[in-house]
Amino acid sequence: MIPMIKKWKVCECFGIPLYVDVTFIALAVMCMLSSGSIIGGLLGAVLLAFSIVAHELGHSLTARKFGCPTRLIVLSVLGGCAALEKLPRSPKQELLVAVAGPAVSFALGVIGIACGAMASFIVLNFCLGLFNLLPGFPMDGGRVLRAALQMKLPRVKATWWAMRVGRVVACILGGLGFIALLHGGVNGLMLMLIAWFIWKAGHQEYIAVSCYGA
């Protein structure tokens, strides 16, 4: 679900509209604060945007192969979101779509090592891939978990369990973010926002699956 927040169309990638919403500015500011310089922060924001778009295209192009087109990709303070018109019904297809994003991130990290790219770019992509594999439904790892559960359970029950595991992950991330924030870490706010997103979005998707079989 794409929040109703002011956003601007930047371009199209493989026929998919790419938008940046106003909250992505906050993410760019966090990059600047973390780097200690405006130029370094802007470069970090550009590299982050590139990596996130590549990650989301991994999901989108894989989903397209299974007949699930993507309406748009939005970059926000929470990272990226590929809004698929529909999700694959097959657990194996959903699993492949879910892992495609982290796979692209890991591939970029490996390519970065091979090409002697900036260490920050390499670390960024490996961290992006690993973080998204946390079982915090509806993050990638949570979708992998649901796909695995669907091989034994009905879709609604699998979604319920994925949501419950995701809420445990949300509590852990929220707690870590709060501790980091108390110690002056600006990234703590980001973790708390992600925790809030997992808690809310996971429940929304469970309701959608329960009521409409989405």
- Entry pTM: 0.89
How far, CA to CA in Å, does 159 sit from each of 70, 132, 164, 167?
A: 22, 18, 9, 12
> Residue 172 CB: number of other CB atoms within 10 A?
14
* Per-residue model confidence as pLDDT tens digits over 61-117: 999 999 999 999 999 878 899 999 988 889 999 999 999 999 999 999 999 999 987
> Looking at the structure, do residues 107 and 52 belong to the same domain, yes or no?
yes
* Per-residue model confidence as pLDDT tens digits over 131-152: 999 999 999 999 999 999 999 9
> Looking at the structure, do residues 41 and 129 belong to the same domain, yes or no?
yes
Q: Are 82 and 61 in contact (CB under 8 A)?
A: no
> Looking at the structure, do residues 87 and 6 belong to the same domain, yes or no?
yes
What is the domain count for the chain? Answer: 2
How does DSSP classify residue 116? T
| Domain residue limits at 199 | 134-214
Residue 21 token pair:
């919403």
> Looking at the structure, do residues 111 and 148 belong to the same domain, yes or no?
no
Identified catalytic residue from 56, 85, 94, 205: 56
> Looking at the structure, do residues 129 and 141 belong to the same domain, yes or no?
no
Of 71, 98, 133, which closes a domain?
133
How far, CA to CA in Å, does 21 sit from each of 33, 54, 78, 183?
A: 20, 17, 11, 29
> Looking at the structure, do residues 102 and 34 belong to the same domain, yes or no?
yes
Instruction: Give yes or no: 85 in active site.
Output: no
> Looking at the structure, do residues 142 and 176 belong to the same domain, yes or no?
yes
